[in-house]
Structures are given as structure tokens and as C-alpha cells.
Structure 1
Amino acid sequence: MKTIIFVRHGESVSNAGGITMAHDAIPLSPHGRMQAATLSAVLSVSPSRTLVSPMVRTGQTAEPFCARWGIQPEQCSALAEFSVIDPVLIDGLSGEERKPFVTAYWNAQDPKLRQGPMADTFREFNERVSEFIRLMPDLPDRTVVFGHGIWFGLLHWRLLGYGADSASDMARFRRFQQGLPMPNCATFLLKNNEGVHWCITADEAINKAIAAIPRI
């Protein structure tokens, strides 16, 4: 049995409703840093490898955990979160002001739609997740992955056997992803039985410890 541990990044300034920034430069909020510190204490697994996305907030979430174990995280481009809209097109907007743009994108249900040169198409995003799925058989037991919410939603969807190619696939995935409990620093265990199937379970003990952190 092989286990991969997936952790969504801590609360970012964007999650907290902050003004639009470049997708890869969004840092953790002060509360997100508290979440990362708590996670490092309660995630007791001794990692064989630790992977982060190219986005700052995953590296900052992994930092206390890696310091605890005296290791360096490895950056994996396949873990990059879905960049729905070019930040230039929503420059200066708050989280609440960005919501109509995101809603309009998903309502269009077009896997080839690109909202600005610095945005992804859904098709490109799906290919990144496919790339990671191809890597999974070669990852060692106790690999810890620090990633993103929509990204993990699509990984979960794909491992269930569903497609993500057509407009209807995209719409069905969005409904699934929005219903998947994925708070910041949510932790999941992906267990593989002899290379055939992946079983995903939430680590409720860790998730409850993160949820209990008071806001200051």
C-alpha cells in the first residue's frame, strides 16, 4: 500500500478577499501562516518527498513542515492551480468583485476559452492534472504534496474515472468541485493498492485541528 498525502495551501490574501495579484505571487495571509505552523505540528508523517506548485502560497505552506523535517521541497509545474482569468483583466478588484467574472467563465462551459494571455484554458488545466496522474505511480510512499483546491478537485474527479474534455464534462466537474469540502490546509490521504486503484480519504483529525485555529 502506497500513500500520498495532499495538503491544500493555507489561507492566501486572495482567499481572504484581497485585491487581485499575479496568480503565482499570491502569498499567505497572517491566518494562513498560522495554519501552516499548526499543520507542521500535526502532520506527523516523515516525508520521503515533498512537492509544491510553482505558486508562492504552496511553498509558504510547506515551509514550516519542511523545516521540521530538515528537507527541501521540490517544485512541480504539474501542480499549478487553474488560472481562470488573466489578473490584468480584473486588476484592482476585491474577492467579492471578482466573483461575477469567475461565474461567467464557468457558465460559458467552453474548455477552449482563454480569458486573457496569462490565463489557462480548461483543456490546458486538465492536461496538467493528467501529467501528474502519469507521475503518481513513480512517487514513493509518504510523498507529501502541497497544492490547490480546484486542482485537487479535478484530480479527485479524474481518479473517479470521469472525463474532463467536453463542455458537459466541464459543467459536471464544476458542480462536483464546488460541493467538495476543501478548506485551506485541508489534508487528504491517497492510498494505492498494488498500482490499480486510488482511494481518497480526508484526514479529519488534521482538518479539525486547522479549523480550531482562532482568528486574531
Structure 2
Amino acid sequence: MKNVRLIRHGESAANAGAATLDHSSIPLTEKGIEQAKRVAQSVGRAPGLIVASPFSRAQATANATISVFPDAPFETWPIEEFTYLDPTRCVNTTVGQRKAWVNQYWAHADPANIDGEGAESFLEFVGRARSFLDRLATHPAQDILAFSHGQFLNAVAWLIEREPPQIDAQAMIEWRRYEIDNHVPNGCGYVVTRALGDPLWSLSDSIEIDGAVRLGNVAKSAAATRVEG
């Protein structure tokens, strides 16, 4: 059985309301550092692989677990957060200051839209989530711990639960609703599994801040859901 724990990074400065210069290098707050330590303490045994997004807040969260299991293999994969706004116009802005731009982007509901240089379309974002599931399926490690971001984790969960037949405007609207309804707190996440020889992924558990698994609480459903991977 392949077991993959997907963890959102600890609280970042942007999460706490600070303005940011670069979306990829936002640091953890003191609270975020403590959350990362709590996740590391909850892991229990060395995973077969530790994976992290290239963004510094995910790397810093992963480092807390790496320090506990220094011999565990570590890799950086392209599982960074969805950058849908032009990064250049977001310099020195807070989450609150970007709210109008965010609302406008999602109201437009164009999966192919790219807001500017350094941004990606919703189609590309979902494509990265699909590629992540494919890479997990073929990797030889059976126990994998991945440190990523809230929207990316919900893209993975949405693909598994909803199995969207196509990524059009309606799918984009539905994903946005799903992401809001299933907000992933800092230091929390999901567990996905795949039986040996099974072409389908199962999404069955959520992970609380202390790393404990709370059964039957993913996407407000007690039943595991499955998707081709």
C-alpha cells in the first residue's frame, strides 16, 4: 500500500497579514516554525521519501522533519502554490490588498487565462496536480511525506474526489467553491493511499495540526473516494 501524507506549510508571514515582496520566498512566522516542529514530532517513523515545494515556506516546514530523520531521502518537486496573479503587481501587497484582484480573477472563470509573466493558468495548475499524482504512483517509495500549499493540496483532493471530466469554466467555479469549503489550516493536510496494482487513488483521512489523523473528515464525506492516477 502506497501511503502519502500531504501537509500544508506552517503559518507564513503572508498568512499572518504581512506584505510580501516575492511569493516564493515568504518566510514562516514563529508560530509557523512551531507548527513545523509539531508536525515533525508527530511523524513517528522515517518516511521512505520527503518531498517539498520549492517555495521557502514549504522547504522550511519540511526541514523540521528532515532534522528528525536526516537519513530519509529528500526531493524538491514542482508542487508549489497556484500563482494566478501577476507577481509583479503583487509586490509589497497584503492578502487584504489583493482581495479585489482575487475576486475579479475567479469571477472571470477562464481556465486558460494567464494574468501576467510568472503567473500560470488554472489549466496549468490542475495539470501540475495531475502530474504529481502520476509521479507518486510510479515512485518506488511506499511511505511519502509531501510538504506543499493549501490550494495545491485541495487541487489534488478535488481531482481524487470529483474526477472532473474536463477543466472548463464550470469546473473552475466548482473547484473554487470546493477550495473555500475545504480550507486546509497551516500544518494540516490529507492522507491519500493506493493499493499495489490498483490504478485508483483513495482519499480517506485528514491530518490535524498535531499530525494525528482524523478519520472520515475529508471533503465532508466519511467514504474514501477514488480516481484514476
Q: Please give the TM-score of this superposition, normalised by the length of structure 1.
A: 0.89
How many positions carry a matched residue from both structures? 208
1:164, CA displacement in angstroms? 5.4
Q: Report the equivalent of 2:28.
A: 28
Q: CA–CA distance in 2 between the matches of 1:18 and 1:205?
A: 22
Aligned residue for 2:192, secondary structure, equals strand
Q: Report the equivalent of 2:218.
A: none
Higher helix share: 1
Aligned residue for 2:190, secondary structure, equals strand
Alignment of 1:129-208 (within 5 A): 129-139=129-139, 140-160=141-161, 161-163=163-165, 165-194=167-196, 195-200=198-203, 201-204=205-208, 206=210
Aligned-residue Cα RMSD (Å) equals 1.8
Seq. identity, %: 26
CA gap 1:19/1:70 in 2 versus in 1, 3 angstroms: same
Question: Which deviations, in whole Å up to 9, do the C-alpha atoms of 1:72-111 show, x marking residues without a partner?
Answer: 521112x121001122112222221111111111111001
Alignment of 1:1-216 (within 5 A): 1-71=1-71, 73-77=74-78, 79-139=79-139, 140-160=141-161, 161-163=163-165, 165-194=167-196, 195-200=198-203, 201-204=205-208, 206=210
Aligned residue for 2:194, secondary structure, equals strand
1:128, CA displacement in angstroms? 1.0
Aligned residue for 2:174, secondary structure, equals helix
The one-letter code matched in structure 2 to 1:157 is W
Note if contact 1:20-1:87 (Cα within 8 Å) is conserved in structure 2: no
Question: Which deviations, in whole Å up to 9, do the C-alpha atoms of 1:116-160 show, x marking residues without a partner?
Answer: 211111111111112112112123211110011100111111112
Note if contact 2:43-2:211 (Cα within 8 Å) is conserved in structure 1: no
Q: Please give the TM-score of this superposition, normalised by the length of structure 2.
A: 0.85
1:205, CA displacement in angstroms? 7.2
Note if contact 1:164-1:173 (Cα within 8 Å) is conserved in structure 2: no
Where relative contact order (Cα < 8 A, 6+ residues apart) is larger, the structure is 1
The one-letter code matched in structure 2 to 1:198 is W
Note if contact 2:22-2:91 (Cα within 8 Å) is conserved in structure 1: no
Aligned residue for 2:51, secondary structure, equals strand
Q: Report the equivalent of 1:213.
A: none
Question: Which deviations, in whole Å up to 9, do the C-alpha atoms of 1:31-90 show, x marking residues without a partner?
Answer: 11111111111221321011111111111001111110113521112x121001122112
1:165, CA displacement in angstroms? 1.3
Q: Structure 2 unaligned segments of length 5 or more: list them.
A: 214-229
Note if contact 1:6-1:147 (Cα within 8 Å) is conserved in structure 2: yes
CA gap 1:205/1:19 in 2 versus in 1, 3 angstroms: closer
Note if contact 1:111-1:167 (Cα within 8 Å) is conserved in structure 2: yes
Q: CA–CA distance in 1 between the matches of 2:176 and 2:14?
A: 20
Deviates more, 1:52-61 or 1:124-133: 124-133
Aligned residue for 1:96, secondary structure, equals coil
Note if contact 1:43-1:206 (Cα within 8 Å) is conserved in structure 2: no
Q: Moved runs in structure 1, 4+ residues, more than 4 A?
A: none
Note if contact 2:38-2:210 (Cα within 8 Å) is conserved in structure 1: no
